[in-house]
Amino acid sequence: MKQWSLKFKVGIYAALLTMVALVAGVMVMMVTVYFHQIQKLDADLAGDAKELVWDLENFRDAPKDARAPLSEKFIPVDMRDYFLMIETRDGELLYRSANLKGQSLQGALGAIQTVELLGDKVRVGAWQVEPYRIRVGAKMNVIERFQENLGIGFATGLPVVGLVVFFGGLWLGRRAVAPVAALSAAAERISADHPQERLPKPATKDEIAKLTEVLNRSFDRLQSSYDIANHFAADASHQLKTPVTILRNGLDHLSRVTDLTEAQAAEVSLLRHQTRRLTSLIEDLLLLAQADSGRMCLQPEVLDLRDLIRAASEDLQVLVEGKGIQVDELLPEKLIVQADRRLVSVVLQNLVENAAKYTDLGGQIRIAGTEEPGWLVVRISNMSAAILEEDRSRIFERFRRGSAVGGEVRGYGLGLNIARELLRAHGGDLVLAPSQPGWIDFEFRLPTRS
């Protein structure tokens, strides 16, 4: 049930609650009706007993002696279905109805009780109505049949009521959840790529509207902080380029000094390597800051992407040298696109470096290019273990590295994010494409339209 939608839960809960309430209500109603019928039957029996004595006293041919036996002709027609005994005030039997089959009605005077008689439930009462003692019993089959029919009708109608309430609750739940669903859809559009998006304000002045206002104010504060961070990253990266460049030039000059000891030369070489890594990181951060702030300046030109792919492939051959990795190119005769040559080169360089890092020894890397209507598609595939499911959805996050990546693989977790941002700046995109077992495929697209 945890995975069911809220509107479905509303329908289920409404139906269950209604059915429970109906069951409880009908049980109380059936008990109430039953006792009401019993009371009415008791009143009818008492009234009929008095009416019987009145008829006996006023019947034209009735015996004048209250101790004389009575026959069925003295019994009113509407009482002949009753179990009936007429006794004297002393308890001497004057009449017993034939349907008793020789059995007697027992019970204290003035009391009414339910007994089993001849296989039926019978309501029996005894009254002293001078000069007779009347014992009357009536079958309860009418009451029992009514209760049974009432239960069958309720059991038949309960599923129908449950379905009606379920679909009614589903409809009400959909209407109640609709504003929340709209907020969720709007919130999905708010991201680092679209920080200016806001939740639509409902026309009503209810709790949803208040929540929307609170969230929008929070998003305003987050965007302000995000803009400040972007500007700081761009400014800091730009300011860092100059001193790092000076430091790198100084180390390059120092490396050409001939009178350095072997240990000093090794130290200078290590510093140069670290400085190059620092330069690369600063350039990556500057590219990301420009992309985030929308200040990336593209210089598109018509170019054949095959030249850039082959250049990246040559660099890839150097990166995998000595690992027994085979590099294949599957390219058409031309891949003409209008894009910024330098930025697309950065994309290809990041992707081939990523493939070189994560390809198994003795594996294979494949670079393929195709044209589709309106798009130029490049797929870079490498043989590697499957990416864990928890990493697939977050593989393009900044500074994100797979949980299975060991410490021997160097990097900052920026390459894929930078490549995707640069492609999106061109109107394209980069995705982790479906692949065969044992392969990992990254596919990027660039629009061919100018």
Q: What is the DSSP string of 127-177?
A: EEETTEEEEEEEE-HHHHHHHHHHHHHHHHHHHHHHHHHHHHHHHHHHHHH
What is the residue type of 100?
L
pLDDT of 135: 93
Which DSSP helix (H) or strand (E) runs through 446? strand 439-447
Which three-class secondary structure state does DSSP give residue 6? helix
CATH number for the 300-447 domain, one of 3.20.20.70, 3.30.565.10, 1.10.10.10, 1.10.3720.10? Answer: 3.30.565.10
Low-confidence residues of the chain: pLDDT under 70: 1-7, 60, 176-177, 191-196, 203-204, 206, 225-242, 244, 258, 273, 277, 280-296, 399-413, 449-450
Alpha-carbon span 347 to 445, nearest angstrom: 11
Among all chains, which residue has been given the structure tokens 């005994």? 85
Alpha-carbon span 34 to 147, nearest angstrom: 7
Could you write out the DSSP letters of every residue in 318-342? Answer: HHTTTTT-EEEEE--S--EEEEEHH
pLDDT cut 90: percent of the chain above it: 13
The pTM of this model reads 0.47
pLDDT of 231: 63
Let me know if domain 207-293 sits in CATH 3.30.160.270. Answer: no
pLDDT of 277: 65
Domain with CATH 1.10.287.130 in the chain: 207-293
Contact 172, 10 (CB under 8 A): yes
pLDDT of 407: 45
pLDDT of 9: 73
Q: What is the DSSP letter of 386?
A: P
Q: Categorise residue 118: left if φ over 0, alpha if ψ from -120 to 50, beta otherwise.
A: left
pLDDT of 243: 76
Domain 6-147: assigned CATH number: 3.30.450
> Where do the H-state alpha helices sit in 294-321?
305-319
Looking at every residue in the chain, the average pLDDT score rounds to 80
pLDDT of 19: 83
- Beta strands 439-447 and 429-433, pairing class: antiparallel
Q: What is the dihedral of CA 283, 288, 292, 295, to 10 degrees?
A: 30
Alpha-carbon span 442 to 359, nearest angstrom: 13
Give the tens place of pLDDT for each residue, 401-428: 654 454 444 555 677 888 888 888 888 8
Among all chains, which residue has been given the structure tokens 């004297």? 88
What is the residue type of 436?
Q
Among all chains, which residue has been given the structure tokens 């009908």? 26
